[in-house]
Amino acid sequence: MQLTREADYAVRCVLYLASAGGRPAAVGEIAEAQGMSAAFTAKILQKLVNAGIAASRRGVKGGFVLARPPAETTLLEVIEAVQGPLALNICVVDRKNCDRNSRCSVHPVWVEVQADMKKKLESYTFERLLNSSPR
Amino acid sequence: MQLTREADYAVRCVLYLASAGGRPAAVGEIAEAQGMSAAFTAKILQKLVNAGIAASRRGVKGGFVLARPPAETTLLEVIEAVQGPLALNICVVDRKNCDRNSRCSVHPVWVEVQADMKKKLESYTFERLLNSSPR
DNA sequence: TCGAAATAGGATAAAATTACTCCTAATTTA
DNA sequence: TAAATTAGGAGTAATTTTATCCTATTTCGA
């Protein structure tokens, strides 16, 4: 029931890129600023690129930038980019793990709680996060 | 970000005990009814007893019952009894993992999302779950 | 054109957590 | 006293998390 370290780092990466305002940032720079290992950070940034959240440029003067303006990327997208789709319980995402005894009165609750979470995480764009007062 | 199998099973155990209406149910009976292994189910029931959610009676004709009426046990309690306190991110529960760079604009979001989840899970008592229509 | 700086991606490994099992002891009833 | 049952400690297997390392590829600029 906990965010992985990877997801936490991913959010911090995007936050960093958002505050860099379009200037390409190299893995080393991002990792150092956030106190994360460079190799692991690189992996995470690759996932963000594959998800279309960040874009990369190779070679000298290369680095990472956001693929879209901060207002168009949400917390949920970033989390799902590295963790895969949010799933509170197996049965929510894979119904066949649920209906073994054909009636399960908790299933709708998992569905509801998960939908709430998604909605909330979706409501936070990185623009909103940047503008919110720190601490 | 997912419920453990243990927590899922725990909920099913309590649900079973709630529907048994005060009659003691043995581990074997509960496990079989829910398609769970007896040894693992026993461990989970012990945690529920230690948390004050269930009560046990040893010996012949022994078994488990709910320690309180279903209306007084919530989903949150059961989940926390086996998984420990809900924690969306380390920094929510252990602030020192967060303030390394003294400003973290996502922290309040984790706190908010977690509080929402807790509130929702707390609002579901087992009485409410029993009375809700299956599926 | 070459070398340095950077990302891309595959393979692998260490650590932690999850999901269990097994065994022995204690308790209760008939 | 025998059988049925929970209590609890210890151990194990599988999976997931959290990385590291190596090689290839791309890009820039001298």
Tell me, yes or no, whether A95 lies in a domain: no
Residue B102: the pLDDT is 53
Average pLDDT over residues A66-87: 97
Tell me, yes or no, whether B78 lies in a domain: yes
Residue A88: the pLDDT is 96
Average pLDDT over residues A53-73: 97
Q: Please determine, for residue B99, whether its predicted confidence score (pLDDT) is greater than 80.
A: no
The count of domains in chain B is 1
Q: What is the CATH number of the domain that holds B24?
A: 1.10.10.10
**For chain D, which bases have at least one atom within 7 A of a protein Cβ?**
2-10, 17-22, 25-29
A124 and chain B: CB distance < 8 Å anywhere? Answer: yes
State the average pLDDT for chain A: 93
Tell me, yes or no, whether A15 lies in a domain: yes
Residue A94: the pLDDT is 82
Tell me, yes or no, whether A17 lies in a domain: yes
Distances (CA, A) of B43 to B28, B40, B46, B50: 12, 5, 5, 11
Q: Which domain holds residue B13?
A: 5-85+125-132
Residue among B90, B100, B120 whose CB faces A35 most closely = B100
B window 54-83, beta carbon within 8 A of A: 75, 79, 83
Contact state of B106 with A2 under an 8 Å Cβ cutoff: no
C-beta atoms surrounding B124 within 10 Å: 22
Question: Could you tell me which residue, B132 or B12, shows the higher pLDDT?
Answer: B12
Q: How far is B26 from chain A (nearest CA, A)?
A: 19
Q: Residue by residue, what is the 3-state secondary structure of A19-35?
A: HHCCCCECHHHHHHHHC
Tell me, yes or no, whether A100 lies in a domain: no
Tell me, yes or no, whether A96 lies in a domain: no
Closest nucleotide (C1' vs CA) to B41 is C20
Tell me, yes or no, whether B103 lies in a domain: no
Give pLDDT tens digits for B64-73.
Answer: 999 999 999 9
- With contacts defined as CB-CB under 8 Å, which chain B residues touch A75? 106, 109
Residue A98: the pLDDT is 72
Tell me, yes or no, whether A14 lies in a domain: yes
Q: Residue by residue, what is the 3-state secondary structure of chain B?
A: CCCCHHHHHHHHHHHHHHHHCCCCECHHHHHHHHCCCHHHHHHHHHHHHHCCCEEEECCCCCEEEECCCHHHCEHHHHHHHHHCCCCCCHHHHCHHHCHHHCCCCCHHHHHHHHHHHHHHHHHCEHHHHHHCCCC
Give pLDDT tens digits for A91-134.
Answer: 998 877 776 555 689 999 999 999 999 999 999 999 999 988 65
